[in-house]
Amino acid sequence: MSLIVQKYGGTSMGSPERIREVARRVERFVKEGHQVVVVVSAMSGETNRLLALAKELNPDPDPRELDVIASTGEQVSIGLLALALHKLGVKAKSCTGFQVRILTDDAYSKARILSIDEENMRRDLATGHVVVVAGFQGIDAKGNITTLGRGGSDTTGVALAAALTADECQIYTDVDGVYTTDPRVCPDARRLDTITFEEMLELASLGSKVLQIRSVEFAGKYKVKLRVLSSFTDVNSTDMGTLITFEEDQNMEQAIISGIAFNRDEAKITVVGVPDRPGVAFAILGPVADANIEVDMIIQNASIEGMTDFSFTVHRNDFKRTMQILESNVKPAIGARAIVGDDKIAKVSLVGIGMRTHAGIASKMFRSLSEERINIQMISTSEIKTSVVVDEKYMELAVRVLHKAFELDKPATEERMKA
């Protein structure tokens, strides 16, 4: 007998018929002899409906009250799923965030989990119940209702799995696992049976929307075995989706490159003619950070005759604001020659844990792109990823070219693994 935490998202819970499907899936695991804790999101559309109501009454709503309102979506879901399980003869009991006692900080709408009291859940599991827990929500030390922010139900699932030292945390979604890249962009994209935690982290942060990044971090921190599966396969399907493993794990299929992530949410900005002296990077990015603008890639080239150019990327929504800050504050202060920007760019990243021990990945990447005459505007590398910025109109082409060049359409073979 295992203890399994399953998480079902809003699409999986989107209608009474879908909820009945979820109940049947849970029932299957119960019948196989497992103890099951289920974490659910609000029915799809519900959270948006509630937030729209709130915004209609107050365009600048207090986050405390937003959380009071938004958290009801999950509360309805737990009750409905418990009823659907009862209908199948499965013992089940619902639990809100405060009933479990999922203690968070008081950062409304983006709270972080501080601790989980697993006693209530253990007691209900011991009496043969499926415990159905509201995702996305918690309670702070003063008894205020908090939410973990969008996608927070994944985090709830992983956190409960960690607190209960569950054997596995299964994240059910509308895709059947993690792919080498987005199949809509590259039809040859292949489903991975396993992926390492670090790769998943890069793929998630770079725009693969399968899992929320915080939940992956959480899983890594607490070594929770995380599995991504589809809630749209047949209830009795033996397909086990993609398992997210940890680096320490041995004997696993290990390709050099696991996938290709991409992102067209960014804009690049270059400060031209920057004097190459200490403190300049801070003089540029300090005012940007003060304005709560997040910076992604940062590149500064070697200087020539005491002058250099300094480039970075920000979210496209922050592009104009960042340009203004640089023009009005930074440019005069450091005596830069010009500020130039471009918000029609895309970032394409090769991700792979094998990359760190294999030379030649970057050069193969650059050669493949150049053969298609795709100009590389910026480059940034880390141990397990290599990212390039290209004109956004070449993004799909770049993804497909790289997917083919690194043979991601083929299962990892001994040969490829050692390539």
Q: Between 145 and 174, how does the x/- string for binding to a second copy read (CB under 8 A)?
A: x-----------------------------
Candidate segments 4-12, 60-68, 187-195, 206-214, binder of a second copy by CB under 8 A:
60-68
Q: Considering Cα of 67, then 70, then 74, then 76, what sign does the dihedral take?
A: positive
Q: How far is CA 257 from CA 29, 63, 349, 407, in A?
A: 34, 41, 10, 9
Number of H helices, E strands in the chain: 15, 20
Nearest CA among 335, 202, 341 for reference residue 258: 202
Candidate segments 86-94, 263-271, 305-313, 407-415, binder of a second copy by CB under 8 A:
86-94
Question: Do the bridges between strand 92-95 and strand 378-382 make them parallel or antiparallel, or are there none, so unpaired?
Answer: unpaired
Query: In the bound complex, what is the minimum distance in angstroms from residue 388's beta carbon to a second copy?
Result: 45
The pair phi, psi for residue 281, each rounded to 5°, is -60, -45
The pair phi, psi for residue 251, each rounded to 5°, is 55, 30
The reply on whether position 61 binds a second copy by CB under 8 A is: yes
The reply on whether position 278 binds a second copy by CB under 8 A is: no
Alpha carbon 27 to its chain centroid, in Å, reads: 28
The reply on whether position 98 binds a second copy by CB under 8 A is: yes
The reply on whether position 133 binds a second copy by CB under 8 A is: no
Name all contacts of 63-67 with Cβ < 8 Å and 24+ positions apart. Answer: 63/108, 63/109, 64/108, 64/144, 66/108, 66/109, 66/147, 67/108, 67/109, 67/111, 67/137, 67/144, 67/145, 67/146, 67/147
Which of 3, 24, 29, 54 binds a second copy (CB under 8 A)? It is 54
Candidate segments 139-147, 150-158, 229-237, 288-296, binder of a second copy by CB under 8 A:
139-147
The reply on whether position 80 binds a second copy by CB under 8 A is: yes
Which of 68, 293, 299, 362 binds a second copy (CB under 8 A)? It is 68
Count of C-beta atoms within a 10 Å radius of residue 144: 16
The reply on whether position 116 binds a second copy by CB under 8 A is: no
Question: What DSSP designation does 180 have?
Answer: S
The reply on whether position 122 binds a second copy by CB under 8 A is: no
Which of 62, 234, 290, 372 binds a second copy (CB under 8 A)? It is 62
Q: Between 32 and 51, how does the x/- string for binding to a second copy read (CB under 8 A)?
A: ------------------x-
Candidate segments 61-69, 286-294, 383-391, 407-415, binder of a second copy by CB under 8 A:
61-69
The reply on whether position 87 binds a second copy by CB under 8 A is: yes
Contacts with 207 (C-beta within 8 Å, 6 or more apart), sequence order: 261, 262, 263, 265
The reply on whether position 86 binds a second copy by CB under 8 A is: yes
The reply on whether position 119 binds a second copy by CB under 8 A is: no
Quick check: 401 and 388 in contact, CB under 8 A? no
Angle between helices 63-70 and 46-57 (to 10 degrees): 140
Binding site for a second copy (CB under 8 A): 16, 19-20, 50, 53-54, 56-58, 61-62, 64-66, 68-69, 71-72, 75-76, 78-80, 82-84, 86-87, 93-94, 96, 98-99, 120, 143-145
